[in-house]
Amino acid sequence: MSSEILEKSALEIAKKAKKASLNVRSLSTIQKNKVLQNLIQILKESESDIISENKKDMDAGTSKGISDYLLDRLLLDAKRLSHIYKSIEEIINLPDPVGEVVRGITLANGLELITKRVPIGVVMTIFESRPNVIIDIASLSFKSGNSCILRGGSEAFHSNRILSSLFHKALKKENIDPSCVCFVENTEREAMVPFFQLDHLIDLIVPRGGEALIKFVSENSKIPVVKHDKGVTNLFVDASADPKIVVPVIINSKTQRPGVCNALENLILHKDYPYTKELFSSLEEKGVSLLVEENLLSLTKNGKLVQEEDYDLEFLDLRLSVKTVSDLEEAIPFIQSHTSGHTECILTESASSIHKFQTKLDSAAIFVNCSTRFHDGGEFGLGAEVGISTGKLHVRGPMGLIHLTTTTTFVTGSGQVRS
């Protein structure tokens, strides 16, 4: 497709989203929640159609030979759909951030200043694989008074298309412009670039996916980008770790859903932790492929020698890199060298170790004595998430309703002039 056609298409979509955003920003909480309640009902009524469209994506993925873990990310079944309904219900029950007063003051000259949360405007999100994302992002964007432009990956095209069309149905039922949720059907990478130049129409770009996608968007966008980068998640087992929690926490962190960004990728063991062999045995029983240092090979059944570059990889499968260290002082620089700034965790009974771990590391979330799989918008009480930001501006960690707002200060006077 020619660049001229791609530019024209992007401009048309962005103009529609911008126009719709000017209306949706003033909708009441009752109106917005009504749409989301309609959406749940429409999704339930269309469940067989959704699963049928998802099967097209699953069949295509199988024929292309994508991994079982990526297929798992792609799957929509009755259970997954029930989670989507629950997520929308949680968003409905969350306080509407629009209009929240974050500062109110009367100056010495009598001017009254009230700073309130307002919608950002038009947010474009580019995501891969998981089709539930389209409902999460559209619901969060709509509840926070924004328009969204959604561009999913080709592997989930049929699923994304039907889900976005059902959201449109819920909007039309309440006579709301469906262009506040725009789905980009062209999945070619070059089709994204024209959007990135429309900084007069689009306010924010949120890419969530692999390292290559994040790099591509960041290098080509004139619009501010909130990066939702890969998760090279690290977990350190201190010598004092409670053996009753070590195996359950690590098994859950790695195997509960290995194809997601908060799944464990690097396991760091204190050399004096006494139950390493038992831990390895439990992991291998769950199908985990251990990549270990040479001195640990004898403690594994089918372990392979780890390479230094393995510690920088987001596997998104059942491979797990293992590193041994002499103490926390050695573990911290190792994590600092290999982290993606997503999630770090320590298992320990030492208060001083916890303090040092929390103060010396700098990531979106730092966990103590619990599974890394809790690093999630829904688990954090946000209802859902646009993604998990690994940057520092303007949001870090799960991006929820409140993070899709900015502020306006309303100033009221009685004729004051500045001297």
329: helix, strand or coil: helix
In this structure, the number of other CB atoms found within 10 A of the CB of residue 22 comes to 14
User: How far, in Å, CA of 151 to CA of 134, rounded?
Assistant: 9
In this structure, the number of other CB atoms found within 10 A of the CB of residue 165 comes to 16
Residues 80-111 have pLDDT tens digits of 999 999 999 999 999 999 999 999 999 999 99
What the block records as the tokens of 368 is 């103590």
Percent of the chain clearing pLDDT 90 (strictly above)? 93
Residues with Cβ within 8 Å of 102's Cβ and at least 6 positions away in sequence, in order, are: 115, 116, 117, 407
pLDDT of 45? 98
| Residue 211: band (very low, low, confident or very high) from pLDDT cuts 50, 70, 90 | confident
Q: What is the DSSP letter of 283?
A: H
pLDDT of 185? 96
pLDDT of 70? 86
pLDDT of 2? 87
User: How far, in Å, CA of 275 to CA of 265, rounded?
Assistant: 20
In this structure, the number of other CB atoms found within 10 A of the CB of residue 319 comes to 17
Query: Which residue has tokens 């889900």?
Result: 163
CB hemisphere CA count around 180 (13 angstroms): 32
Ranges 22-31, 203-212, 246-255, 275-284: which has the least confidence: 203-212
- Phi and psi dihedrals of 11, rounded to 5? -65, -40
**401 in Cβ contact with 383 (< 8 Å):** yes
pLDDT of 129? 74
pLDDT of 52? 98
Residue 1 has pLDDT above 80, yes or no: no
| Closest by Cα among 281, 305, 275 to 293 | 305
pLDDT of 353? 98
User: How far, in Å, CA of 303 to CA of 300, rounded?
Assistant: 5
pLDDT of 210? 79
Residues with Cβ within 8 Å of 200's Cβ and at least 6 positions away in sequence, in order, are: none
pLDDT of 229? 83
Residues with Cβ within 8 Å of 68's Cβ and at least 6 positions away in sequence, in order, are: none
**159 in Cβ contact with 183 (< 8 Å):** no
12: region left, alpha or beta (phi > 0 left; psi from -120 to 50 alpha): alpha
Q: How far is CA 121 from the centre of its chain?
A: 20
Residue 30 has pLDDT above 90, yes or no: yes
pLDDT of 102? 97
Residues composing the chain:
419
Which tops the pLDDT comparison, 67 or 372?
Answer: 372
